[in-house]
Structure 1
Amino acid sequence: MADKAKKTLCTFCGVVDQVTVEDGGRVRATGSLGVCVKGAHYFQKHLSADPTEVARFTSPLLRTPYGWEQISWDYAIDMVADTVLADRQEFGRDALACYGVGQMTLESLWLAKKFFQGHLGTNNICSNAEQCLANNAGGHELVFGNEGPFAAYDDYREADAVFFYGHNPAINHPTVFQRYVRRNRDAVKVVVDPRRTATVERLQADDPRTIHLPVRSGSDILLNMIFARHLLDRGAVDRDYVARAVDPDSADAFVRMVTRGPYSLDEAVPRLTPAGMPVEEMRSRVLRACRLWESERVVTTSSVGINQTVGSSGVASILNLHLLTGQLGAPGRGHVRLAGQSNASAELAMGYSGRLLPFRMRLSDPEHRARAAELWKLPAWRINPAQGLPVASFATSERLRTLFVFGTNPARNFPNLAQWRERMMDLCVIYVDSYYNPEMLEYADIVLPCRTKHETSGVFLNGERRLQYMEAIEEPPFEAWSDVRIVCAVARRIAERLAGAEPPDVAGLSEDDVDALVARGNGDLSARALDEAFRYPVDEYGEVLSEPVWEEIQAASRGFYNEFCDGTGRPITLADIRSGEGVQWGGERRYTRTGPDEEVSFPGVFAADRHRARFHLPPPERLVPFGERNDRQFVLITGRGGMGPTARRRDVAMFNSATATGEALWPAANSVYVNPADAGRLGVTSAQRVRLSNDLGSLVCPAELSDDVPRGHLYLTFHPDHAGTHPNVLTSSDHCDPHTWQPLLKDTQVDLEPLPS
């Protein structure tokens, strides 16, 4: 590394902040958030040691009958291009799939979407966001008609009350937690979570007014209906705002549902109170939380806990409360998005789903398909109208033949894991990653080494809509390319293979006509269009420059709900993004409150498609706590972070599946945490081995007893251990949110059986 200190980004969660890295990997904060322990740990490990000590892929690899063989980049790109063309011709466009990750830059997400969905015509294009953050976007769409968040981190500092739903920011987002949440000493905090987390402990230590609502898993919407009922009964509703901002039919239907349903404190609190907790104690806490919604300024945050439990309807039920009280569009009011993956918000905006096009356009809409074709300079018939697969269905589909995996580990993080691993054995898996991953090497066929965080340049979009630029602070010591370069190289090699072939010059073709062309030598593909679409200026190392790709993205965004302009409407340039702490598209906050005589409207997918918000009426099944419909003994809660006195040090390293760093801190085996009352009933003692099982599979691990887990629930981290404990052998790919297809992984029921010593 050069002697001069360099600025870059810490990108280990969806916060993303500016840091300066000095010689030896020492990191200091440059932005307003500070540097999290995960980022500091990463830079110190990677920039202070011999790079050969880090488990990296050093060159492209090809699986052969004799094992893994190192190959040249030229040969590797040949193999990938030939595989794509052969499988596409024999099995059709839908035989291809791309699975990305929220660590990819915005440029690489855009180009992968353009390549796989636009030019190759497959809609099997998904990402990690479909498994973690998609329901946050879904909830926004159900209420406001677009996915874009409207609040900023600064709102935490301005709030009178802050609600966290299924979110543990003390572990997952420590910089926001320390510098924004904890520094607002005046605000009362409410944590809605079945278990007592590190967030609960630290906030209660700061302020005894902190309220922990350990509701039964699956009770979030029921709780929010209680809040809504309280507000209506008390007359604490901003009726003027509702009249100006909300569709009147939806408002009438919502009020009828809340006031006529069993959502009073006396009726509903017993249903969400976990076994072993006095109902009166829960009622007292819920009533205190109800009254906080009467405050002048309320901020909420939902994260993976609610996303993977009650889904889009759960997030929408929180936004209903913001509409009901007018708690948006002003400092200290709103719903703040915090994501686990650094660029998950960009994945949402780019439409990483089997039924979405860029900027959340709908694949099912012919006008949207025509607009996408226009953005990508393709004829409209080239956009495949056939819906792609949900990412959860990759495990069970027979359509797939070739799978591209960018920077993530589906051998660990897919639901229905046992079946998914069997399915991968039948696929050609092209694996793009930086770090040596023995799990994925069991299934990959071609490995393409990509650059790491500190070797890559590109744009990241965080949870408050802030676009920031990550600078490469050193060149890779091995033969690693960026994701952008890899996509462009494969696209242009395919163009070479087509040898100037062009599709018929017609105004339109039916889906059957296109499929026939594909089967006849990929006759739908245009060599010229592929070459032109992925030919960009490069630097001295052959890496694609960011500016022309960003200019293409910015131009493409015009007219959409998330047009990449600043608060004044001026287009955001790459120079703007690279200066200071970046730029928030749409300004510091959206949906700014207007005068009492002005009607309020919100954009849909297109900025000009203005409409009123709609209260979301949750379906009946989302109002039933899991404990009321369990077929098995327990609800299994999974998440980031361990429990117990030794967990905090390990949590520092538990990111990027711990392949980037942290393997030395892996525990021998992760423990499942059991409430002592449940353990006593089943005869389970501390450290005893137990079996968790359901219809999908089983796993064996030690048990630990903890009052921080309520009765009827178990907690097991999904972080790796040396024993190979994989909670996803128990999670289902069938139970998905209907709006987003995100699998509801935390609605997992299991039995627990103690094993003899």
Structure 2
Amino acid sequence: MNDIIFTDKQSPASITGQTISKTNCPYCGVGCGIEATVENNKVIAVKGNVEHPANLGRLCVKGSSLHETQGLQNRILHPRVKGKNVSWDKATSTIADHFKATIAQYGPDSVAFYLSGQLLTEDYYVANKLMKGFIGSGNVDTNSRLCMASATAAHKRAFGEDVVAGCYDDLSSAEAIFIIGANPAYAHPIVYQRMIKAREENPARKIVVIDPRRTASAKDADLHLAIKPGSDAYFYNGLLIYLAEQGKLDKDYIAKHCHGFEQALETAKSQFSDISDVAIACDIELSLLLESYQIFAETDKVVTFFSQGINQSSSGVDKANAIINCHLATGKIGREGAGAFSITGQPNAMGGREVGGLSTQLAAHLHFENSNEIDLVKRFWQAPNIATKPGLKAVDMFDEVNSGKIKAIWIMATNPVVSMPNANLVKRALEKCPMVVVSECYENTDTINYADVVLPASTWGEKQGSVTNSDRTISVHQSMIKAPGEAKNDWQIITDVAHKLGFKDAFNYQHAVDIFREHAALSGFENSHPLAEKKAEKDIYRVFDISALANISQSDYENFIPTKWPINVANPNGVQRIFTDGVFATKNQKANFIPIIAQLPKILPDKTQVVMNSGRIRDQWHTMSRTGRVAKLMTHSDEPYIAVNPDDAQRFQLADKQLAVLSNLSADYIGRVNITNEQRTGEIFVPIHWNDNFSASARVSALVNPITDELCGQPELKHSPVRIKPFNAVWSGYLISSQTVNCPTSYWSKIQLEQGHKYLLSDKQKLGDDETILANIYPQIDDWIVLKDAQQNVLRIAGFIDNKLHCFFAASTDLNLKFNSRYIEGQLNKALPIKTRFALMSGIDSNGKGDVGDMICSCFQVGEKTIQEAIKSGQCKSVASLGEKLQCGTNCGSCIPELKTFFT
């Protein structure tokens, strides 16, 4: 059988000359709009789209660098089966034949799909339709299970449907913003700058940050509460009690629009004798607790902005509902500047939920627990074999792969060997699975190593389709350039396999718009408002309704103006805020208060352990397959680290800037110690991004216990007891190389440079003292210079090919020695005359310039020492004046919290 041929929009880049396309950023859930300049099938520049409602023209440093992520480096260009390049027909036939045979022998639940919030809605829709509608299993889950499952379940319990009621404009109009379990200054910098700008315009506005860490967001806050990890529901249960005691309830709103308030209040009261008990449970001063409660109670417009610190918990659903309870109790929801705002981690986490991306959902916000909803989707899809029960959630799914019950799994656009808890089990599971299919863009993902079939997928700039951001805004990514090699869009790959499985009639898609129209039509199928005069008896109301787009033309789709759903006959231009009329998506149209018994994490540390918290850093994204390609994005944080409180450093004999080892579940993480008072005692923080492609031992999730929320299956990624000890290196240093190398040292971390790579190195084994230590790595080099500095215990080695610097190695047994390599990095691959080679060994250029210090502003590469010099000279006395002189802080604003610390 031959592969089907798809039509798609002609790429504007196929025409000689420059074109400008409007598209979207593929990183976080903010969903920023972008204007991309394309020339000769390459994006040569990007800037923020001033017309897009998500970002109004601003981009963070990651988005601003998107054009630098392109190129053939590490791209997967051809389908592979068992490591050999094959035709698309062979690859998709292999998948279809294996799935058919497996299902015939073991049933449909023996196969599974694991998807990603990186996929576009059309990709998601087709994958869900194939598995749930036609293969007949619910075994489709997504990495959104790791970030948004708690919020999804909480929304459904409270509102009857997974709906974020507010919008980004509320962050500008709120009089107080409570940020809990989130660090938007780093993770969602564009919406964070909205909050800061609004406060600058009106200093009476308050920002309260509730977070165990003193994050960049906390440093900007009017009030920071460093609560005990996992005590969030205690805080909000206490707030509910406080509101009742102070007479700050909106009793009219509760009576007209809510159900179950008294039980929720009594349940909260059952855990505390008085408010002081709340402060004890949260481990904060009572005065700070009461100050924050007073701000919430006395302020008319309050937004609670929450993310992974709430969601990634063994009781994340309850935490989110405890937040929502307080907003319902005060009527601070469904109106301008007020609401509980759950922000997604990924660009299309909400779009995935719209089409049933989680194993517990059906498409179009329908669910398995109601047979009428299953029947609705069955009839619309004309799918007699539709799944009738939920499938396996992510942690359970990989457990079943490990046990052998799932015998074929297709992983799309995600890297579970790095991101899943107990990640070494995931590795073992994939090793033994009879068929692992991976659809991916890049070779440098850990999961690729375990694939039987590798499928080359298109990526940003190459694919077209829709996404939905955190405030329900649907946007369409533009196809601007031709994908390299034989790469295809994910929906095309899935459709081809569906045809070979025998489902051609149900998957007759020729363009992404065909899928989008079907998705839109399903959202409106037998869907009418509960108060509508002509509501049919069999109709099942969903707030999610984009049926006005069911007949959208291809031209209008390709030029779609970003719009917030619902988008239907009643609201053809979308809706800013939901539940403004107090009518919810429950059977009685009232919101539900949920009684919450607050809980701490399931596994608490013993005296030999610390609590490991993990999360994003400012300039990297997920597992770095894209951002790790950009040199300037590696300058702010260039290797794995461990943030440690001074008391813990003393207790465990850890030295600042030296390496330490974390251990749990027979797995290790090696990172650089950063001693800081920003951590509470007994707690550490590590970044999630590094993996086996970028460091020797830095897959954080391998240390995370597979503990999940019983209600939603989301893992407790923010609270893992681990052991910590010094690495005990005998030397440290770096290697600058024009080629990638396999480092033999027990610690290494790879950093992308403009002209090659830099490797930070340490080892417990004694170091040799001549060029032979590099001979196995560079057998082609026979032109070496070796310099030994006995005074500083430093060894420097440079290797040349045709007079060009090919590698440079520096190491010392003095572990406190700080190397400066910036000048040498700039000399890589350059021809260097003999007389200048020895000057090179000093690492200082001819002008005597060298280290600019830690990089603060990635956008304009402004270092700490440069900033200090500008301040010391008297020329800069504020963040604004630093921006005028050095440009730092004038692009995305992500570095502004750090710039402020120079003046405090």
Q: Same fold (TM over 0.5)?
A: yes
C-alpha distance in 2 between matches for 1:55 and 1:69: 16
Structure 2 match to 1:741: 713
* In structure 2, distance between residues paired with 1:148 and 1:139: 10
Answering whether residue 238 of structure 2 is matched by residue 231 of structure 1, we say no
What's the CA shift for 1:630?
5.5
Report if the CA contact (8 A) 1:564-1:571 is conserved.
Answer: no
User: How far off is 1:438 after superposition?
Assistant: 5.0
Q: Does 1:7 align with 2:22?
A: yes
Normalising by the residue count of structure 2, what TM-score does the alignment of the two structures yield?
Answer: 0.71
2:294 alignment counterpart = 291
**Matched residue, 1:252:** 262
SS at match of 2:591: coil
Letter of the aligned partner of 2:44 in structure 1?
G
What are the Cα deviations for residues 103-129 of structure 1, in whole angstroms up to 9, with x where unaligned?
Answer: 111111111000011111121110011
CA drift of 1:623 comes to 3.2
Residue matched to 2:60: 36
1:137 aligned residue: 152
Whether the aligned pair in 2 keeps the contact of 1:229 and 1:263 (CA below 8 Å) is no
Structure 1 or 2: larger helix share? Answer: 1
Matching residue of 2:575 = 588
Q: Is the 8 A contact 1:731 1:748 kept in 2?
A: yes
SS of the equivalent of 2:281 reads helix
1:439 to 1:592, Cα distance in 2 relative to 1, 3 A: closer
* 188, 199, 212: which one aligns with 1:173: 188
Aligned with residue 546 of structure 1, among 484, 494, 512? 512
Counterpart mapping for 1:463-542 below 5 A = 463-495=470-502, 530-536=503-509, 538=510
Output one character per residue of 1:368-399: Cα deviation in whole Å (capped at 9) or x when no partner.
322221121122xx123354211112332121
Tell me the TM-score normalized by structure 1: 0.84
Q: Name the amino acid aligned to 2:75.
A: R
**Aligned partner letter, 1:109:** Y
Aligned to 2:307: 303
Is 1:243–2:255 an aligned residue pair?
yes
What are the equivalent positions in structure 2 for 1:63-212 lying under 5 Å apart?
63=82, 68-185=83-200, 186=202, 187-201=205-219, 203-204=220-221, 210-212=222-224
Give, in whole Å, the separation in 2 of the partners of 1:438 and 1:238: 51
What is the CA distance between 1:38 and its match in structure 2?
1.1
User: Deviation per CA, 1:156-206, whole angstroms, max 9, x where unpaired?
Assistant: 1111100111111111111111234433333200111110111122x24xx
Q: Give per-residue Cα distances to partners, 1:389-419, cap 9 Å, x unaligned.
A: 1111233212111111111111111111111
> Which residue type is aligned with residue 78 of structure 2?
S
Aligned equivalents of 2:517, 2:549: Cα separation in 1? 14
For each residue in 1:514-564, what CA deviation from the matched residue of structure 2 results, as whole angstroms up to 9, or x when unmatched? xxxxxxxxxxxxxxxx1111112x3xxxxxx12221111111111142333
What is the match of residue 639 of structure 1?
615
**Which residue matches 1:408?**
414
Give the match's secondary structure for 2:255: helix
Tell me if 1:602 matches 2:552: no
Aligned counterpart, 2:277 = 267
Specify the SS of the correspondent of 1:585. Answer: coil
**Aligned letter for 1:21?**
A
Greater C-alpha Rg: 2
Aligned twin of 2:804? none
Report sequence identity in percent: 26
Query: Any idea what the Cα deviations from partners look like across 1:302-348, whole Å, max 9, x if unmatched?
Result: 10111012311111111001101100121101122321110000122
The CA RMSD over aligned residues, in Å, is 2.3
Name whichever of 575-584 and 424-433 sits farther off: 575-584
CA distance in 1: counterparts of 2:551 and 2:330, whole angstroms: 33
- SS in structure 2 of the partner of residue 453 of structure 1: coil
Higher relative contact order, structure no. (Cα contacts within 8 Å, ≥ 6 residues apart): 1
- Find the aligned partners of 1:684 and 1:251 in 2 and give their Cα distance: 50
Aligned letter for 1:289? S
Contact 1:8 1:471 in 2 (8 A): yes
Counterpart contact for 1:563–1:585, Cα < 8 Å:
yes
Change (3 A) 1:73 1:347: same
Between the aligned partners of 2:423 and 2:708, the Cα distance in structure 1 is 16
Distance 1:378 1:627 in 2: 44
Range with bigger deviation, 471-480 or 386-395? 386-395
The letter of the residue matching 1:731 is V
Task: Give 1:728's aligned amino acid.
Answer: S
Q: Does 1:325 align with 2:303?
A: no
* Superposition deviation, residue 491 in structure 1: 0.7
Cα distance change on mapping 1:396 and 1:218 into 2, 3 Å: same
Q: After TM superposition, list the pairs within 5 Å mapping 1:25-64 onto structure 2.
A: 25-30=44-49, 31-32=52-53, 33=55, 34-46=58-70, 51-52=71-72, 54-63=73-82
Shift of 1:468: 0.9
Name the CA shift for 1:352/1:45 in 2 (closer, same or farther; >3 Å): closer
The CA deviation at 1:352 is 2.3
Contact 1:7/1:473, CA 8 A, preserved across alignment = no
- Structure-2 separation of matches of 1:161 and 1:263: 28
Conserved? CA contact 2:316–2:709, under 8 Å: yes
For 1:481 and 1:553, how far apart are their aligned partners in 2? Answer: 21
Q: Distance in 2 between matches of 1:572 and 1:307?
A: 37
In the alignment, is the contact (CA less than 8 A) between 2:209 and 2:223 conserved in 1? yes
Q: Distance in 2 between matches of 1:713 and 1:612?
A: 41
| Structure 2 CA distance for partners of 1:747 and 1:696, relative to 1, 3 Å | farther
- Cα distance, 1:108–1:45 mapped onto 2, change above 3 Å: closer
SS of the aligned residue for 2:432 comes to coil
CA contact (8 A) 1:272 1:625 kept: no
Which digits, 9 at most, give the CA deviation of each residue in 1:708-730, with x for residues without a partner?
11111111111114223011111
Q: 1 CA distance for matches of 2:427 and 2:485?
A: 30
2:656 corresponds in structure 1 to: 686
Judge conservation of contact 1:108–1:484 (CA < 8 Å) in 2: yes
Q: 1:578 to 1:737 in 2, by over 3 A?
A: farther
SS at match of 2:300: coil
Letter aligned with residue 194 of structure 2: R
- Residue 303 of structure 1 aligns with an amino acid whose one-letter code is S
SS at match of 1:441: helix
CA, structure 1 residues 475+753, in 2 after alignment: closer, same or farther (shift >3 Å)? same
Question: Which residue pairs with 1:707 in the alignment?
Answer: 677
> 2 CA distance for matches of 1:316 and 1:571?
34
Secondary structure, in 3 states, of the residue corresponding to 2:596?
coil
SS in structure 2 opposite 1:454?
Answer: coil
8 Å contact 2:653–2:725 — kept in the other structure?
no
- Cα distance, 1:658 vs structure 2: 1.2
Aligned to 1:719: 689
1:374 to 370, 379, 404: 379
